[in-house]
Amino acid sequence: MASIDALSSSSSEPQNVRASDISSIKTFAESNDVVASIPSSYHSLPHDDDVADHLADSIPVIDFSLLNSQDPQIHANAVQELGKACQDWNFFMIINHGIGESMMEEVMKKSVEFHNLPLEEKEEFKDEGLFPHIRYGTGSHSQAEKAHYWRDYLRVTTFPEFHFPHKPSGFKEVAFEYSRKTRSIVRVLLQGVSESLGLEPDAIIESTDFDSGFQKFLANLYPPCPRPDLALGIPAHTDNGLFTILTQNEIAGLQVKHDGKWINVNPLTNCLLVFPGDQLELVSNGRYKGIWHRVMLNDRNTRVTIAMIDGPPVEKEIGPTPKLLEKEKPLFKSIKFKDYVDLKLSKGEARRPLDDILLI
């Protein structure tokens, strides 16, 4: 791997690598070319941003088992905690979520094995290739993105139909289990969120048609970057869906924005990180906001994450939950989830289509 010295001494040389020639950032990072230059289109980090690390320990931790408690008082307290976490931080970790450590390790291990397959084998699943529901690629999914991202991804539809690559062996099986378990966790979170808004537990599940909704499995790999000051894994964005559930290997890099400051996230062992997305902001009529987050790089270690993105059916028109509008004015227009995602793809990550459907 290139040292920073080697890089800076060559930084005045002409840049001979174009981002469009890179089909895997992992392969590029392992090659000698990385010493010569990082293509300038990767230079996307605004470096004047504040990082408020003293707040890292205040990220809310929700004990998921209490949400499921049969004791009405314990359940009510857990719902209140959840609502507070969504309102104050729009981000939280969950513990006691019922997914075994061995399953979490296995799904991570298989995701790493997938990214470690030779490039030719992964290219069978290349973005816009033969399998529209299985997409392997590098950088961003959006054509509108000017800056490239220092990450490779495998992005697969796992609900309502389950699609998955047939290799490495055992990946599909563990991913299926993981997909179903995380989806049922999101279902319970949506019930808790509904209750915390003073609605019936199933209000959001019903109004979004969640049970026929969509889920993506996304395995991100961020290789070491010799100049972490010049590139980003993913720039600041909010996620499109209702909730994203994320796990990572032991390497840090995630930051979330809280009160205008970036906070480094240091997950508790075996917790799940939960990101409310734009659709949650929409259905809660702006009460619970989608969280801005981004991925920083380092020059030593490969970071791997698995994001499960859960949302409504793509054809479903989503707006503020009708019951909420008995007491308040709608903040947003309704929009088909598919149109929302298309708008996001056409505008790039930095802009949220939510701002275009504001009514006020």
Which residues of the shown chain bind ligand OGA in the complex (CB under 6 A)? Answer: 218, 220, 234, 239, 246, 248, 254, 293, 295, 305, 307
Contact (Cβ atoms closer than 8 angstroms) between residue 146 and residue 41: yes
Closest to ligand OGA by CB, 66 vs 222, is 222
CA-based nearest residue to 274, from 188, 172, 174: 188
Contact (Cβ atoms closer than 8 angstroms) between residue 126 and residue 95: no
- Least separation in angstroms between residue 239's CB and ligand OGA is 5
For residue 136, give every residue at least 6 positions away whose Cβ sits within 8 Å of its Cβ, in sequence order, or none: 122, 123, 125, 126, 127, 152, 153, 154, 155, 165
Contact (Cβ atoms closer than 8 angstroms) between residue 257 and residue 292: yes
For residue 198, give every residue at least 6 positions away whose Cβ sits within 8 Å of its Cβ, in sequence order, or none: none
Query: Could you tell which of Ni ion, ligand OGA, none binds residue 218, using a CB distance below 5 to 8 A set by kind?
Result: ligand OGA
- Least separation in angstroms between residue 328's CB and Ni ion is 29
| Cis status of the peptide bond prior to 168, with omega within 30 of 0 | yes
- Least separation in angstroms between residue 325's CB and ligand OGA is 30
Binding site for Ni ion (CB under 5 A): 239
Closest to ligand OGA by CB, 28 vs 217, is 217
H helical segments located in the chain: 4-10, 25-30, 33-36, 64-67, 72-88, 101-116, 119-122, 171-196, 203-207, 278-283, 337-347
By beta-carbon distance, which residue lies closest to ligand OGA?
A: 305
Closest to ligand OGA by CB, 248 vs 321, is 248
Query: Could you tell which of ligand OGA, Ni ion, none binds residue 45, using a CB distance below 5 to 8 A set by kind?
Result: none
Query: Could you tell which of Ni ion, ligand OGA, none binds residue 295, using a CB distance below 5 to 8 A set by kind?
Result: ligand OGA
Give the whole-angstrom CA distance, residue 122 versus residue 334: 38
Closest to Ni ion by CB, 106 vs 183, is 183
Give the whole-angstrom CA distance, residue 72 versus residue 256: 33
- Least separation in angstroms between residue 202's CB and ligand OGA is 27
Contact (Cβ atoms closer than 8 angstroms) between residue 217 and residue 134: no
Q: What is the CA radius of gyration of the chain?
A: 20
Contact (Cβ atoms closer than 8 angstroms) between residue 226 and residue 3: yes
Closest to Ni ion by CB, 106 vs 239, is 239
Closest to Ni ion by CB, 78 vs 85, is 85
Query: Could you tell which of Ni ion, ligand OGA, none binds residue 37, using a CB distance below 5 to 8 A set by kind?
Result: none
Query: Could you tell which of ligand OGA, Ni ion, none binds residue 254, using a CB distance below 5 to 8 A set by kind?
Result: ligand OGA
By beta-carbon distance, which residue lies closest to Ni ion?
A: 239
Closest to ligand OGA by CB, 115 vs 293, is 293
Give the angle 158-160-164 at the CA atoms, nearest 5°. 25
- Least separation in angstroms between residue 246's CB and ligand OGA is 6
Strands 61-63 and 92-95, bridge-based pairing: parallel
Query: Could you tell which of Ni ion, ligand OGA, none binds residue 221, using a CB distance below 5 to 8 A set by kind?
Result: none
Contact (Cβ atoms closer than 8 angstroms) between residue 136 and residue 149: no
Query: Could you tell which of ligand OGA, Ni ion, none binds residue 127, using a CB distance below 5 to 8 A set by kind?
Result: none
Closest to Ni ion by CB, 191 vs 220, is 220
- Least separation in angstroms between residue 313's CB and ligand OGA is 20
- Least separation in angstroms between residue 311's CB and Ni ion is 13
